A and B are shown apart, each in its own frame.
Chain A
Amino acid sequence: MSLAKSDPSLQRYSVWNRLNHWLVAISFVLLVLSGLPFFHPFFWSLTALFGGPTMTRILHPWIGLFMTLMFLFMAIAFFRESLIRRRDIQWLRQIRDVLANRDDKLPPVGKNNAGQKLVYWIMLGCIALLLISGLLIWQPYFAGAVPITLRRLASLGHAGVAFLAILTLIIHVYSGIWVKGSFQAMVRGRVSWAWARHHHDLWYEEEREKARKHRAISSRHDTPTNRQESP
């Protein structure tokens, strides 16, 4: 049989990756929903989702802590493949081609393209800042002990960084919808070889190489019969 079959047979995210990602995603969304009411009265009615304003005030920081922890795991898991390479710069230079879907013009891409890597680093930065500023204004635990100017700075910072994070989220989510197959990739963890070759050609090569080696090793013990079925 052939890898060309477009059925997703290529593992992109492990079960753990996926669980981890979605836990972060869900808590992030909850944080957005519970944070926006304090961000602007326009969103006040969202507090209803959390059992009222005061409950929202109480829950938000705890959800935050949970997400931070989850994100930490994810950050470790995705660290290597998120390191920025020279070719990523080139990719970013050609962001117009990316948006215009002129993918043939793009430089080769590894497991993650520059956009995904940026999301990784921006979120890493934002969440670190949100954690610190959040702790500084956390009533009733820490805020009381924090000098007033620092509290004011933290409040401002928390809001600003949250804004950045939300924008990033929107882009991230949109990309998921826009790039066909990637949403499925994070849901079921597998992509088709063709998808991989199109969006992440270098990674595709790596995976192909892996597959070849694998077959080579296994062929030594192969019986003629089963050899017939292998490519």
Chain B
Amino acid sequence: MTLQVTRRQFFKLGATGLATSSMAMMGFAPEPAVASVRHFKLTGAKITRSNCTYCSVGCGVLLYSRGDAAINVVDDIYHVEGDPDHPVSRGSLCPKGAGLLDYVKSDSRLRYPQVREAGSNEWKRIGWDEALDRIARHMKDDRDANFEADDDDGNIVNRWTTTGMLAASASTNETAYLTQKVVRSLGMVAFDNQARV
């Protein structure tokens, strides 16, 4: 058949004639369809360049936040997407990276220092000073009590083995460097990071 009529045209043939006239007659024309159905959510957002800190690809991410860092505003991150300039990720992200917003906003984020007293079954909120004072006191007491200046063979060893530390796998080099510096100044040796797991 030579006459090409698509389904919709066919549908219209039957309808349009009747409809157009009658609509006009009934004085009712189609109300305008809203153009872009949703408001564009990035308009006016502050964009911050960052890096995903899950795996070691180190993808570039853009953090979109409300507020322009003016003094009277507390910025609020509300969208995360890939940084197209990044030579490795070129804007793409994996399911973890694409979900970063829910990590930043997770209900499981901790908001204030807490302590669980010996034998207790609950967390107790405390202030930073109390927390840090108590921790420092614990550390000093343990160090003073168990510091090894020398070993049985008379070697000077100046080590502290009874308190240990695990360093983060996602913390910055700056944090890591400061941690290393502090830990070694205390003579701590039971010190490790997540390289193995």
When chains A and B are docked, how far (Å) is the Cα of A42 from the Cα of B17? 11
A11 close to B (CB within 8 Å): no
What is the minimal beta-carbon distance from B82 to any residue of chain A, in angstroms? 37
**A40-57 near B? 1/0 per residue, CB < 8 Å:** 111011000000000000
Please tell me if the beta carbons of A41 and B19 are within 8 angstroms of each other in the complex: yes
- Per the CB 8 Å criterion, the residue count for chain B at the interface is 7
Please tell me if the beta carbons of B26 and A45 are within 8 angstroms of each other in the complex: yes
A-B contacts counted at CB < 8 A amount to: 10
B23 close to A (CB within 8 Å): yes
- Which residue in chain A gives the minimum CB-CB distance to B30? A41
What is the minimal beta-carbon distance from B24 to any residue of chain A, in angstroms? 12
When chains A and B are docked, how far (Å) is the Cα of A41 from the Cα of B26? 12
- Which residue in chain A gives the minimum CB-CB distance to B28? A45
Residues of A within 8 A of B19 (CB): 40-42
B22 close to A (CB within 8 Å): yes
When chains A and B are docked, how far (Å) is the Cα of A99 from the Cα of B19? 33
- Which residue in chain B gives the minimum CB-CB distance to A45? B28
Most buried by B among A40, A41, A42, A44: A42
What is the minimal beta-carbon distance from A91 to any residue of chain B, in angstroms? 37
- Which residue in chain A gives the minimum CB-CB distance to B20? A42
Q: Which of A42, A44, A45 contacts B18 (CB 8 A)?
A: A42
When chains A and B are docked, how far (Å) is the Cα of A44 from the Cα of B28? 9
Residues of A within 8 A of B22 (CB): 42
When chains A and B are docked, how far (Å) is the Cα of A123 from the Cα of B24? 34
Which residues B28-48 have CB closer than 8 A to chain A?
28
Residues of B within 8 A of A42 (CB): 18-19, 22-23
What is the minimal beta-carbon distance from B39 to any residue of chain A, in angstroms? 23
When chains A and B are docked, how far (Å) is the Cα of A45 from the Cα of B19? 13
When chains A and B are docked, how far (Å) is the Cα of A44 from the Cα of B22? 11
When chains A and B are docked, how far (Å) is the Cα of A41 from the Cα of B23? 9
Q: What are 10 A-B residue pairs whose CB atoms fall within 8 Å in the complex?
A: A40-B15, A40-B19, A41-B19, A42-B18, A42-B19, A42-B22, A42-B23, A44-B28, A45-B26, A45-B28
Chain B residues at the A interface, C-beta cutoff of 8 Å: 15, 18-19, 22-23, 26, 28
- Apart from A40-B19, A42-B18, list 8 A-B contacts with CB within 8 A: A40-B15, A41-B19, A42-B19, A42-B22, A42-B23, A44-B28, A45-B26, A45-B28
